[in-house]
């Protein structure tokens, strides 16, 4: 194994929203006779929202890349500037999403995989599933030959 691709999965609300936009575009064209251009634009917007993903490719020689994918196909890649980590950590973190308009807050927890170097860190991945996060962290630790700390055991 010479590289590992770390890709965060799309959330269910994101998938549902993009599918809703595509269905809305088709139904508005079918029933309300909206313009073909508007229908195509909305459908494409939903399709792009559904298929676009960002990922990190971590390589053994640490020539890392940031990948932009469309339904799994690489459409753009760029060099990812990272410091080689002293260690990798897996931990549970709480996040808050605040709505600017009405002030509502949504709290959620994710398992985070981070590279740590001195006093800096880089978040490689955020997942809902602890076992997947730990497996990816252990695979990265084995690839880069650095220690992995699992804070869930503490």
Report the pLDDT value the prediction gives residue 120, as an integer from 0 to 100: 93
pLDDT in tens, 22-34: 998 998 888 877 7
Asked if residue 140 has pLDDT above 70, the reply is yes
Parallel, antiparallel, or unpaired: how do β-strands 87-98 and 147-150 relate?
Answer: parallel
**What is the per-residue pLDDT across 45-96, written as a single tens digit (0 to 9) for each?**
999 999 999 999 999 999 999 999 999 899 999 999 999 999 999 998 877 7
Cβ atoms 56, 124 nearer than 8 A? yes
Helical spans, DSSP H, in the chain:
12-32, 36-51, 130-144
Rounded Cα gap, residues 100 and 96, in angstroms: 12
Query: What tokens appear for 20 in the block?
Result: 């809703």
Mean pLDDT of the region 136-145: 95
Q: What values do phi and psi take at 118, rounded to 5?
A: 55, -120
């Amino acid at each position: 194994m010479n590289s590992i691709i770390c890709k965060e999965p799309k959330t269910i609300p994101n998938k549902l929203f993009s599918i809703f936009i595509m269905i809305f575009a088709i139904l508005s064209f079918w029933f309300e006779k909206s313009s073909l251009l508007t229908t195509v634009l909305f459908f494409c917007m939903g399709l792009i929202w559904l298929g676009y993903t960002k990922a990190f490719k971590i390589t053994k020689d640490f020539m890392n890349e940031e990948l932009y994918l469309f339904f799994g196909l690489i459409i753009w890649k760029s060099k990812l500037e990272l410091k080689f980590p002293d260690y990798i950590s897996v931990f549970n973190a709480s996040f808050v999403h605040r709505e600017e308009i009405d002030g509502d807050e949504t709290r959620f927890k994710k398992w985070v995989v981070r590279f740590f170097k001195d006093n800096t860190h880089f978040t490689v991945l955020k997942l809902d599933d602890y076992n997947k996060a730990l497996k990816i962290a252990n695979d990265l630790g084995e690839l880069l030959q650095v220690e992995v700390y699992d804070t869930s055991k503490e």
